[in-house]
Structure 1
Amino acid sequence: MTFTVLDTDASMAAVLDAAPADREDLIRTMLAPAAGMFRYFPGEVDLAQMHSFSMGFPLDRELGRTREALQQLREADVWTRIHTALNQAAEVQRRALPGIEVPDIMAVLTLGDATDGYFMNEAFGLSGNGGTTGYLMLTLWPTPVNLERIEAAAVHELHHNLRYAPGGIVWDPATVTVGEHVISEGLADAFARELYGDRLGYTPFGEPHLDDDEVFEKVVSGLTVTGMQNFAAWVLGDAAASRFGATPVGLPTGAGYAVGNRLVDTYLSATDQDASQALHTPSQEIIAVALDRS
């Protein structure tokens, strides 16, 4: 097991200092070691376009502001902190489930687009991707909250990586349910909270809806919906659905995360387990126990 945190500090600095015509190619070079993250996308993926689609920092404007943000990341020592957090979390997971295979993982940290209203307001300046075995990515803007909880955010994505690694839960894009996605987010948050406590462990955009029974009932009504094209609305909320071309269903941002936390916490309490012990528990089991106790 090896965790590699890509040196995007030097790479982002090179992009920002380059001539405009060279920046896209330099972004492609920066992301090339992690290109396998996008292996399930149809056709050939343009890494520069993927950077933009993932709300990465703009290449044609805001250069000074982005340089200042990059300096904030350096001063906060985020690359070292991510590496340390991943190793510590893997040890916790292996103690909970002896014999589990932790794959080699490459972590990629990149600055986001501070001019993107959805990214900054709805997503709180943080977007993560940890569902592809062997890779995880964090796109962020260095707000005080994001800098403080960088370890928790990395560990959340690590949990996704481990849940869907070979020998774990199988994620089939065509048949996977909203319930699986919701539970995976709840488990990942619960794992982050197991290590860092509730204040840092919750994904911020879901936290406001933790006690909203109307949101809970609405999300529960959609747990059996299948197909990843529906996840933006049911898990992330209407703003994300509108942003990514899906149909809104009447849910606030982060609704699925809030409901996932409630379901997972009810299950863990009922079974007297920690999140690390429930890594590979099927979502159907967690949902059934949680709803029976709700």
Structure 2
Amino acid sequence: MDITVLDSYDAMRRVLTAPVADRAEIARPFLEEAKGMYRYFPGEPDVVELHHLGGGFRLDADDDRYFPALDLMGQADVWTRVEHALGRALGVQLEAAPGITVPDELVVLIVLAHPDAFFIDTNLGMSANGSVTGYLWINIWPTPEVLERIQATAVHELHHNLRYANIVWDPATVTVGEHVVSEGLADAFARQLYGDLGYARLGLDALEDDAAFATVVSGLDVTGMQNFVAWVHGDEHARRYGAEPVGLPTGAGYAAGNRLVDAYLAATGQTAAQALLADREEVIRTALARA
């Protein structure tokens, strides 16, 4: 697999030095290099609109915070660190599971976020997606904590990319349990390589919350992706995106996934890399039997 980390740093600098009225069209070419990540969207997706919906830096307004933040990303060598981390992680994964299907190319788009209150206070400065085979998107506001975890974040998303190159994700029938287990497996893989930095920050506060864990477990058989934001990300995200809250703190699904997967790995003696394609029902059944 060829790993292509797009040079979005220089592209974003060009965008931010242009007049506001021109920025969307200047940004469009580099955003369209990763347009394939939207291939399951209905119709013809507009990459600029989706950039904004995903929390990317605004292309229609000036913000004096953008250039210093972009400079921080450059000084932290984010693009090189992500590329090296993905190459290393791919090698570890292929050694553990040499027969898996991998995409021919992985296109990686790293973008600067817009630091509104929700992105900073609830998302904790990071959003990413690696679920569409062949594409990986990382959207960050470069706080010290986010920059420290950037390799682990990329590796977490690589795990999703490889899992769903081999397991079919049907939006209509997929369960909350699959999503929760996939987050736990991805975190476990990132922790295999980076220790505690591999925990998704979103779920850290809920790791020891037994009530939240029990609530997530009660919803593992819920189907349909429209329900996932509430069960996996929690009530604040549900309200933000128009879903019905189910009484969960932020990141509860991530925390529950870590607990389930850790119990499963302990019971089976596998590494996270070896468990890439573990069946969600087996993970859940084995983990709950140890509870």
Q: With structure 2 as the length reference, what TM-score do the two structures score?
A: 0.98
What is aligned with 2:131? 131
What is aligned with 1:247? 244
What is aligned with 2:63? 63
1:161 aligns with 2:157: no
Which residue among 187, 191, 209 is the counterpart of 1:189?
187
What is aligned with 1:113? 114
Give CA-to-partner distance per residue, 1:106-127, whole Å, 9 cap, x none.
111000011x211111110100
Counterpart of 1:86, as a letter, is L
What is aligned with 1:180? 178
CA distance in 2, matches of 1:60, 1:3: 31
Percent of residue pairs bearing the same amino acid type: 58
1:229 aligns with 2:199: no
Alignment of 1:90-109 (within 5 A): 90-103=90-103, 104-109=105-110
Counterpart of 2:29, as a letter, is T
What is aligned with 1:219? 216
Contact 2:152 2:190 in 1 (8 A): yes
Structure 2: runs of 5 or more not aligned? none
What is aligned with 2:268? 271
Counterpart of 2:112, as a letter, is L
CA distance in 2, matches of 1:59, 1:20: 7
Alignment of 1:46-85 (within 5 A): 46-85=46-85
1:291 aligns with 2:288: yes
Counterpart of 1:107, as a letter, is V
Structure 1: runs of 5 or more not aligned? none
CA distance in 1, matches of 2:234, 2:152: 22
CA distance in 1, matches of 2:180, 2:101: 24
CA distance in 1, matches of 2:13, 2:220: 43
Contact 1:205 1:254 in 2 (8 A): yes
Contact 2:24 2:60 in 1 (8 A): no
Contact 1:90 1:102 in 2 (8 A): no
Contact 1:169 1:282 in 2 (8 A): no
CA distance in 2, matches of 1:64, 1:73: 16
Counterpart of 1:242, as a letter, is R
What is aligned with 2:254? 257
Counterpart of 1:61, as a letter, is A
Contact 1:233 1:246 in 2 (8 A): yes
Give the superposition deviation at 1:62: 4.6
CA distance in 2, matches of 1:62, 1:291: 51
Contact 1:237 1:248 in 2 (8 A): yes
CA distance in 2, matches of 1:163, 1:98: 13
CA distance in 1, matches of 2:102, 2:85: 14
Give the superposition deviation at 1:252: 0.6
User: What secondary structure, in the 3-state scheme, does the structure 2 residue paired with 1:89 have?
Assistant: helix
CA distance in 2, matches of 1:55, 1:239: 16
Contact 1:56 1:113 in 2 (8 A): yes
Give the superposition deviation at 1:20: 1.5
User: What secondary structure, in the 3-state scheme, does the structure 2 residue paired with 1:225 have?
Assistant: coil
Give the superposition deviation at 1:132: 0.1
Contact 2:69 2:142 in 1 (8 A): yes
What is aligned with 2:145? 145
User: What secondary structure, in the 3-state scheme, does the structure 2 residue paired with 1:108 have?
Assistant: strand
CA distance in 2, matches of 1:61, 1:31: 18
What is aligned with 1:3? 3
User: What secondary structure, in the 3-state scheme, does the structure 2 residue paired with 1:275 have?
Assistant: coil
Give CA-to-partner distance per residue, 1:20-73, whole Å, 9 cap, x none.
221111222111111000000111101110010000011233532101111001
